[in-house]
Chain A
Amino acid sequence: MTDVASRLAAKRGAIVRNQAFWGVVAIVLLLAINVISDPGYLSIGYNSETGHLSGNLIDILRASAPILMIAVGMCLVVATGGIDLSVGSIMVVAGAVSMELLSSMDGTTGDAVLTLAVALGIATALGAVNGVLVSVVGLQPFISTLVMMLAGRGIAKVITGGQNTTADNDSFAWLANGYIVGVPVVFLLAIVIVVLVALLVRRSALGLMLEAIGMDSRASRLAGVKRRNLQLTVYSASGLLAGIAGVFATASVMTVDVSRTGYQLELDAILAVVIGGTSLAGGKFSIGGAVIGGLLIATLDKTVVFLGIPASATPAFKAIVIVVLCLLQSERVRSLFRHRRALRAQSQKEAVAA
């Protein structure tokens, strides 16, 4: 009996210590706030003509797709003890390449496929450049990807000649705006990609290798772990995923905004990873956590707009979320709670005794 209770308590402790749990709590809280301001917030409409689902929740899912992509890539990079500041810039490069190519083509599905391949290829190559700078040249990830972040946006501007290029291609737009059985294609794609990455990482030994590098790169080198190859792989993967995010972000409006597409989204991605309980110091990582973090950020963005607060004030709310989640993780705050619980238990005991 007490055994079961203590095991339950231990499990509860593990859940409460799990930072992703607090991410879920935060999402629920935000949705609750929205429901209070509009009781119909959660309702999902069904358009019988088109067969599409619609509603605020669907909007959130759609908006979360690009963030999920870059958050998953960032998660892998962070696990190795690195960081990728360039994902936002790689997004805009992928978007710029897509729009430039499509605007000079006819709008067939074949064109869309070709464009997709070229855009994602370039994004992967930019990621690989990061990987080479980090693993072969031996520069710090922060600096290498900062260089790519600065250069990437410039490259995008050069590609479009500084214009915000617009294009037309229904197949390409379908990626972001289409529906499959009523659910936005973009979200389905994002989920499929996330699941594929998660399976790849956890079913193979990739996850263990990445964690080993992130925790102790010298020891893992002597254990035969190929740091260079793995770093090259994760930075390229992060580039590829950022490219996908860039396609998602531009396909929805079929326009690339060279100064705003993907702007500062690297910060959102890092935030999502940290909310998900992965330490920036590297090591243990959680892709599921990063997904929850990404969903939380999308929910927060939409909530701020829904509540009629100017979108430019959104950062302040993000700050509150970070600070609260970090404080919940903090040893100091934890021990404060433990102390209070202990005191309460003691006073209860004393009350019983009296």
Chain B
Amino acid sequence: MTGAPPIVEMTGISISFPGVKALDAVDFRLFPGEVHTLMGENGAGKSTLIKALTGVYKIDEGRILVAGEERHFGGTADAQAAGIATVYQEVNLCANLSIGENVMLGHEVRGPFGINWKATHRAAAEVLATLGLEQLDLRRPLDTLSLAIQQLVAISRAMVTRPKVLILDEPTSSLDANEVANLFTVIRRLRDQGVAILFVTHFLDQVYAISDRITVLRNGGFVGEYPTRELDRTTLISKMIGKDFATLRSLGSERQSHHYEPRGEPLLRTEDLGRKGSSEPTDLELHKGEVLGLAGLLGSGRTELARLLYGADKPDSGTVWLRGKKTDIHSPTAALAHRIAFSSENRRDEGVIRDLTVRENLVLAVQAKRGWFRPLSRKEQDALVRKYLTELNVRPADPERPIKLLSGGNQQKVLLGRWLATEPDLLILDEPTRGIDVGAKAEIQAAVAALAAKGVAVVFISSELEEVVRLSDRIIVMKDHRKLAELENGPHVTAETIVAVIADEGDDEEGDSE
């Protein structure tokens, strides 16, 4: 492998955006027949490097060689012509078209009378078969498929051109374990066929399961390139972040010993709360000062349940008692009025409003709660903003900066500030730490712990089971849109406990495992 010349060689790549140097003299090599992982925190420059290689961004400095030939990409089409195919984190397909049409878009088989649909569908079926997806119906419209399957369709589409280089930019972030295993089988097969694969992920297990070589970036700079077997996890993490790791460890142990004993009337109680097709009728109880973890894989129904609690989706069955009173929470507005706040997992589309400033984003929910005719004075706004920017350590602490210019972690902190500013009694956090760097993650976890200590009830949802275990007093395990079990947290509970519950489904439906 080391003998063969690299298929891609990028040297001294620099890219600047107004005010930021996104990439600074980064080197990157990719060999045929290897899986190469690009690692780094958010904002490290991974996406930028990939976009440079796929022709989305123009490079300011440096050279890109593909198969030994210097290339200047003017757009994605140029990169594709050079044999580089990409699958992005967000599925970039057309929801209005069918699976087959999406796979073959731009590569349709043409005959004397235009596109030959029969042959085109045949070709699409062949590609799907190589990925083990032959059971998919080519004529099914894409918008009727789950995100996970859409992602697999996107990968199929990338393989249509038989690329020499396949870039997978966090393709696993929405796949469950089964689907990841499926995907890895395909990746290995492609690697053995000599395809060079560039793989980006946040999941360390996956890195060690699949990759041959790792390149680490930090703050737009090049840290190093290492064979995977020569780099253990701790070293890798310290290369990526350095210091914040210890902070995270200490927080975990402190919280787990916290043990909360619920007393008196629950703040919130639901009976048979559900919605057809998204959430089976569910009972739950939540006390003041308690952190309730919702654990389960993506698609287990945890997000759907959270949305019902907030009125983001309307429940069609069940009853909610809030502070002992029967309450109808039919809209976010109503929820906020009842001092319930909800931070969506979808930060980009349902969280920040990109073109508004940090200040405007932060005061939005409070202002909406008061109604537009009772505006917060500038002084009140400034006080709120100053308070939360300091408390949550938002960087840069410039209230007038458009929020889109902040890193993901800092956007998430501003959002947390938005909900805290409404002074909620119940705060629902759906994946508040996904896709943000470890430093911000630790700060958000600390903020959650502090809130619970102040008496706020928190519903905490995360794909990282360790995180759920670390923070929660009680954990509800979910699968297939229903509650599987409820666990009292304690020293004996670990991520493995939850995995065992999920794997062992159906044996004890409601029992508290003690």
Contacts and interface: CB of A to CB of B under 8 A. Distances in A.
Asked whether any CB of A lies within 8 Å of a CB of B in the complex, the reply is yes
Interface of A: 203-206, 208-209, 211-212, 215-216, 218-226, 230, 283-284
Contact of A223 (B349, B354, B368, B375): B368
B312 A222 contact: yes
B355 A209 contact: no
B336 A224 contact: yes
A219 B352 contact: yes
A204 B369 contact: no
Contact of B364 (A203, A208, A230, A283): A208
B333 A212 contact: no
A204 B310 CA distance: 27
A212 B355 CA distance: 9
A111 to B, nearest CB: 34
A133 B342 CA distance: 29
A206 B332 contact: no
B20 to A, nearest CB: 18
A203 B350 CA distance: 27
Interface of B: 310, 312, 332-333, 335-336, 342, 344, 349-356, 360, 363-365, 367-370, 372-376, 418, 422
A216 B349 CA distance: 7
Nearest to B419: A223
B352 A205 contact: no
> Which of A204, A205, A208 is the most central at the interface, judged by chain B CB atoms within 10 Å of its CB?
A205
B351 A209 contact: no
B441 to A, nearest CB: 22
B372 A206 contact: yes
A224 B369 contact: yes
A219 B353 contact: yes
Given A204-B375, A223-B418, 18 more contacts: A203-B375, A204-B372, A204-B373, A205-B370, A205-B372, A206-B373, A208-B364, A208-B372, A209-B367, A209-B372, A222-B312, A222-B332, A222-B344, A222-B350, A223-B332, A223-B365, A226-B333, A226-B368
Contacts of A211: 355-356, 360
A218 B349 contact: yes
A90 B227 CA distance: 71
A51 B263 CA distance: 81
Contacts of B368: 209, 220, 223-226
A219 B335 CA distance: 15
Given A212-B353, A212-B356, A216-B354, A223 B372 contact: no
Nearest to B422: A224
B315 to A, nearest CB: 16
A219 B418 CA distance: 12
16 contacts: A205-B370, A205-B375, A208-B360, A208-B363, A208-B367, A212-B356, A215-B356, A219-B344, A219-B352, A220-B368, A222-B350, A224-B332, A224-B333, A224-B368, A226-B333, A283-B355
A225 B367 CA distance: 8
Contacts, number: 79
A191 to B, nearest CB: 24
A206 B344 CA distance: 24
A218 B350 contact: yes
B353 A220 contact: yes
Contacts of B349: 216, 218-219
B100 to A, nearest CB: 29
Contacts of B373: 204-206
Contact of B353 (A216, A224, A226): A216
Contacts of A225: 333, 364, 368
Contacts of A226: 333, 368
Contacts of B355: 211, 215, 283-284
B375 A219 contact: no
Contacts of B351: 219, 222
Contacts of B332: 221-224
Contacts of A283: 355
Contacts of B376: 205
> Which of A203, A204, A208 is the most central at the interface, judged by chain B CB atoms within 10 Å of its CB?
A208
Contacts of B344: 219, 222
Nearest to B336: A224
> Which of A225, A230, A284 is the most central at the interface, judged by chain B CB atoms within 10 Å of its CB?
A225
Contacts of A221: 312, 332
A43 to B, nearest CB: 44
Q: Which 8 A-B pairs have the closest CB atoms?
A: A224-B368, A224-B336, A205-B375, A205-B372, A223-B365, A206-B372, A225-B368, A216-B353
B313 to A, nearest CB: 11
A208 B349 CA distance: 18
Given A205-B375, A205-B376, A212-B364, A219 B369 contact: no
Contacts of B354: 215-216
A201 to B, nearest CB: 9
A234 to B, nearest CB: 11
A194 to B, nearest CB: 19
B409 to A, nearest CB: 18
Contacts of A224: 332-333, 335-336, 365, 368-369, 422
Nearest to B359: A208
A226 B364 CA distance: 12
A221 B314 CA distance: 14
A230 B372 CA distance: 9
Given A220-B364, A222-B332, A224-B365, A215 B342 contact: no
A219 B372 contact: no
A215 B351 CA distance: 12
Contacts of B418: 223
A273 to B, nearest CB: 18
A212 B372 CA distance: 12
Contacts of A216: 349, 353-354
Nearest to B364: A223
Nearest to B307: A222
Contacts of A212: 353, 356, 360, 364
A219 B360 CA distance: 13
Contacts of B365: 223-224
Given A203-B375, A209-B367, A219 B333 contact: no
A58 to B, nearest CB: 37
Contacts of A209: 367-368, 372
A219 B354 CA distance: 10
Nearest to B337: A224
Nearest to A209: B372
Nearest to B343: A222
> Which of A205, A209, A222 is the most central at the interface, judged by chain B CB atoms within 10 Å of its CB?
A222
Contacts of A206: 372-373
Nearest to A233: B372
Contacts of A220: 353, 364, 368
A74 B376 CA distance: 26
A291 B363 CA distance: 29
A28 to B, nearest CB: 31
Nearest to A216: B353
A74 B351 CA distance: 28
A297 to B, nearest CB: 27
Contacts of B310: 222
Nearest to B349: A218
